Amino acid sequence: MAKITAADVKKLREATGAGMMDCKKALSEVDGNFDAAVDFLRKKGLSAASKKADRVAAEGVVATISNADASVVLEVNAETDFVSKNEKFIAFVNALGELILDQRPADVDALKALPFDAELNVEQALSQLIATIGENMSIRRFAVLETEGATGSYVHGAGKIGVLVAIQGEATDALSEIARGVAMHVAAVNPQFVSRDEVTEDIAERERKVLTERALASGKPEAIVEKIVTGQMNKFYSENCLLDQGFVMDSDKTVAQAIADVQADAKLVATVRFALGEGIEKEEADFAAEVAAQVNG
């Protein structure tokens, strides 16, 4: 077997743009033959994928998947909205969700290193999908929730928003149903905090200061300013804390009351909300340019 040198790996990497470890594996598989190694990488989709890696991927999908024990929400990005409807892309995202629930990787890097099938790991499978579909893609993030009780999930807008909710308590169908209802609420309202306990003293004090100065500036007597501010702080909590908010499924109740009505001792312990592409700086391009980019691939 031919000896694979660092110079060989560097040459192949410069020619294809594939990762160092992928280049080393390719050369090993073909006994050091450079042209055969290039073909090996092309067949795996690794060479083509690297050429698309600098393209902004802010579309794609947010998906949720659940089993008997837990739920996962994950975001996989692509360049255009069209890909979110591609059957191969959807199958890949669903397979990732199942893999995450089964293997519980610590982060995205750990997920990418997991075996995806008999031949490829997740990162290689993603590269192959990029080459097949012709767009840059990335596995951006995921979160898993589990609890003794129920996890609820909800996806809004065909994968634009995904939410998980975990409620601790006795596992019943009713608890699962209210968990899903709360997930729908979080998708719609996007509360800043779960409960008042999560509001830091700095945030509360800043709000109190603004409300106090506003009340004094309006000419209210100092003797009643404190009562006014207390009332307005309660309104602040009811608008920003999930458990204090009016439940979107029944506005006569708060979210906390809706959960308690189902199970008195149940406790909402966690929520996760992903909005597709949030925080990714998108490039502005006219439609003609987008079409040309797709045609020229």
- What string of DSSP letters covers 193-246? BSSGGGS-HHHHHHHHHHHHHHHHHTT--HHHHHHHHHHHHHHHHHHHBGGGSE
Cα dist. 203→111, 199, 219, 271 in Å?
36, 6, 25, 20
Query: Residue length, the chain?
Result: 297
Rounded Cα–Cα distance for residues 158 and 27 (Å): 42
From the list 200, 164, 194, the residue with the least C-alpha distance to 267 is 194
Instruction: Lowest mean pLDDT of 84-88, 98-102, 183-187, name the range.
Output: 84-88
Q: What is the pLDDT of residue 290?
A: 54
The confidence score (pLDDT) of residue 204 equals 94
- pLDDT in the model for residue 222: 82
The bridge status of strand 59-66 relative to strand 267-275 is unpaired
* DSSP code, position 281: -
Q: Is the pLDDT of residue 66 over 80?
A: yes
CA distance 186 to 180: 10
Between CA 279 and CA 56 the distance in angstroms is 12
User: What pLDDT is attached to residue 2?
Assistant: 75
- Helix, strand, or coil (residue 115): strand
Position 35 confidence tier, pLDDT thresholds 50, 70, 90: confident
pLDDT at 296 over 70: no
Nearest residue to 184 via CA among 162, 202, 203, 166 = 162
The CA distance from 193 to 204, in Å, is 12
Mind listing the domains of the chain with CATH numbers?
Answer: 6-50 (1.10.8.10), 52-146 (3.30.479.20)
Percent of the chain with pLDDT over 90: 62
Position 103 pLDDT exceeds 90: yes
Distance CA 142, CA 76 (A): 9
Residue 168 backbone dihedrals phi, psi, to 5 degrees: -85, 135
Identify the pLDDT of residue 227.
Answer: 92
Spatial CA neighbour of 143 closest among 158, 131, 153, 156: 153
Report pLDDT for 287: 46
* Residue 32 φ then ψ, to 5°: 85, 0
Backbone angles phi, psi at 167, to 5 degrees: -120, 120
Mean pLDDT, residues 89-98: 97
Q: What is the rounded average pLDDT of the residues 126-134?
A: 87
- 34-44 and 122-133 helices, crossing angle to 10°: 80
Q: Which amino acid is at 97?
A: G
Contact 245, 255 (CB under 8 A): yes
Q: Residue 285: is its pLDDT beyond 60?
A: no
Confidence of residue 135 (pLDDT cuts 50, 70, 90): confident
* Dihedral angle sign, alpha carbons of residues 248, 253, 256, 259: negative
Which residue has better confidence, 296 or 4? 4
pLDDT, position 267? 97
pLDDT for position 264: 97
- At 137-195, the pLDDT tens digits run 999 999 999 999 999 999 999 899 999 999 999 999 999 999 999 999 999 999 999 99
Residues 202-260: tens digit of each pLDDT: 999 999 999 999 889 888 888 899 899 999 999 999 999 999 999 999 999 999 999 99
Contact 105, 111 (CB under 8 A): yes
